[in-house]
Amino acid sequence: MSNFDTVWLTLHHTLTSQKNQHRLCLWGRNYYGLACPLSRCASQHFATQVRATLRPPKNANKGVHYLVYVNWDYEEYCAECRGVKVARGDNSAKEGKLREKWGPKTRGTMRIDTPRTVVDRKGIIMTWILPEVIPQKYQEEVYLATKSLEGTLASNLRSARDSTSWRSSPGLFNPDSDYIRSGFANLSPAWYMSGRSHKSDEPRTTPVLRQSIGRLFLHTARDAFAIMSGVLFIVHPEQYQMARAIHMKMRGRGCCADAIRNWPSVQSALSIISNRETPFHRDDQSRMSWYDILMSIGPYDILMSIGPYDKAPFYLSPIGIRVDNRAGTICAFSGAAFRHGVRKCSQSRISLAWYLRENIREGEAVEPANAMSQAVYREHIGSTSHKVCLSM
């Protein structure tokens, strides 16, 4: 088989090799989303399922070039991004200066529909793009789980109609469809209410997770969500270990211990967005050195655009990137560092974003993870070779 150096195949073989079956079993037992821990037999069965069903996309073995290098320093870029307000329309002068300095020097975009990482000149892995990595079986799990929450999604949208936040603006949502009703929900076993922090308050469990419908949601998609933690373990092992340390410490908190034990991810929060156009924006709840993990599902192929600029899809200077985000595709990047958004689409879609809130890390006094680098990735994974395959 040719070209085993693709990012996806590295992920695939690491997740499914015999050597790593115990890790899959660990995810199955500890991050499965069940009220009762899985037996060893059940978690081994889950590991076997993953190994049997995860498969590379159709174009994974066509000798595709998978590294995209940019000739600038990610840490310098992040330093200039700090202080930029995240609300849409704010600080346009600052964004204009960022666009002028870091934006693409030529017109046009690069369409990506194959496994890629985007790497800076010092070897920082800024973005992972993993097309169609989640098999249909697990996409269906996520769909059925989200379908069970569609009453909550729609109710949240109705309740927020007077909100000034664009995130709940009715004009950005498509009409309900037979596939899924439109709306949104934020789920977390422990997060601080707006305006609160670990210095003044205890974290709270979001209301839906205190209800049986929330527990049903986690149970229905438990396999898929366990895999998402596995993906984070591969693409950013330091963030995974940090998040796991936070997760374990918070199990001792009486205010939300039960919800944390049932939570199927090391990430602290999940946002579910159904049938919404998303204007280009930044997220300010996480760190620029951490990945948000995005997954999209739907009865179609959609185009997902992520990038730091308004007038194009995913741009990283001096390269413009447009991600073909087919159903089952995973993108890992910092929503704090890069402006990102989803263009209007006439068809139904569900987007899920897993992320870790910085104030949760601060509250548990765990050391923050650094940005992911090629050197750390090689040490973590083993003898993975990275080829220079695209010169710009």
Q: In this structure, what token pair is assigned to residue 280?
A: 């280009």
322 and 331 Cβ atoms separated by less than 8 Å: no
DSSP assignment of 92-120: HHHHHHHHHHHS-SSS--EEE-S-EEEE-
CA 254 to centroid of chain Cα atoms:
28
> Is 128 strand, coil or helix?
strand
Name residues whose C-beta falls within 8 Å of residue 97's C-beta, 6 or more positions apart in sequence. Answer: none
Torsion of CA 204, 280, 95, 111, to 10 degrees: 130
Q: In this structure, what token pair is assigned to residue 44?
A: 């081994």
Measured CA to CA, the distance from residue 204 to residue 141 in angstroms comes to: 27
Is omega for the bond preceding 368 within 30 degrees of 0, making it cis? no
**Burial of residue 192 (number of CB atoms within 10 Å: 0-12, 13-18, 19+):** buried
Measured CA to CA, the distance from residue 172 to residue 22 in angstroms comes to: 44
Measured CA to CA, the distance from residue 244 to residue 330 in angstroms comes to: 21
- The residues that bridge with 129 in the sheet, in sequence order, are 116, 331
Q: Dump strand ranges (E) for 131-258.
A: 183-187
| Bridge-based pairing state of the strands 116-119 and 67-69 | parallel
DSSP label at 58? T
Query: For residue 281, how many other CB atoms are within 10 A of its CB?
Result: 16
Smallest Cα–Cα separation from 332: which of 353, 313, 358? Answer: 353
The domain locations on the chain are 65-381
pLDDT (tens digit, 0 to 9) for every residue of the chain, 392 residues total?
322 233 344 444 444 454 444 444 444 344 333 222 333 444 444 445 444 444 444 444 444 446 778 788 999 988 888 766 554 445 677 777 777 777 666 666 677 777 788 888 899 999 888 877 777 888 888 999 999 998 888 887 777 676 667 666 666 666 767 778 888 899 999 988 765 566 667 888 999 999 999 999 998 988 788 778 878 887 888 998 899 899 888 887 777 888 888 888 889 999 998 876 666 777 777 899 999 998 877 764 444 444 333 332 333 433 567 777 677 778 898 888 887 777 666 667 788 999 999 989 988 899 999 999 988 877 776 533 333 332 22
pTM over 0.85: no
Measured CA to CA, the distance from residue 8 to residue 120 in angstroms comes to: 20
The topology under which CATH files domain 65-381 is: Double-stranded beta-helix (3.60.130)
